[in-house]
């Protein structure tokens, strides 16, 4: 199942206009949604992304990080709706709905790297369900890093 996702990710990436490729890479390595990524503060020193959106009862935002090779910061002035429209256009062309695939690959890779589920959920903006995760887990930037 996942090897197909990796192939689809490559096809989608190759069909994106160059302007949107850094945003794609940031989405793939951060676990964030488009609107979260493009509405965040960036701490360049720690390569930390601090989203300002999604503050609902089931979806919230903590923080995430980006790889040093992802140089997308200059693209953060792009409106989320423009990026979403571009991604939908490429999705129609390729037949690949990428945003779910990127988040699936992100969570799988984090799990394979040994990151605990509650922290993966935090990176993806999901509210922790267990009492242990909600009340006794440290979600500080130092721990999440």
pTM of model > 0.85: no
pLDDT tens by residue, 99-124 = 777 888 888 888 899 988 777 777 77
- pLDDT for 57-68, tens place per residue? 555 557 787 776
Ordered by where they begin, the domains of the chain are 2-144 (1.10.443.10)
Q: What is the pLDDT of residues 122-133, one digit of tens each?
A: 777 666 666 565
DSSP labels, the chain: -HHHHHHHHHHHHHHS-GGGHHHHHHHHHH---HHHHHTEEEETTTTEEEE----SSSB----EE--TT---GGGTTS-HHHHHHHHHHHHHHHT--HHHHHHHHHHHHHHHTT--HHHHHHHTTBPP-SHHHHHH----HHHH-
């Amino acid at each position: 199942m996942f090897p197909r996702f990796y192939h689809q990710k490559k096809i989608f990436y190759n069909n994106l206009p160059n302007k949107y490729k850094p945003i794609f890479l940031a989405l793939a390595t951060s676990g964030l949604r488009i609107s979260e990524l493009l509405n965040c503060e960036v701490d360049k020193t720690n390569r930390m992304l601090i989203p300002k959106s999604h503050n609902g009862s089931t979806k919230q935002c903590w923080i995430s990080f980006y790889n040093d090779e992802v140089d997308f910061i200059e693209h953060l002035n792009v409106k989320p709706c423009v990026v979403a429209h571009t991604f939908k256009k490429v999705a129609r062309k390729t037949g690949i709905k990428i945003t779910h695939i990127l988040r699936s690959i992100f969570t799988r890779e984090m799990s394979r790297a040994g990151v605990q589920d509650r922290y993966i959920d935090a990176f993806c903006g999901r509210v922790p369900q267990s009492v242990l995760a909600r009340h006794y887990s440290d979600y500080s930037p130092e721990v999440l890093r």
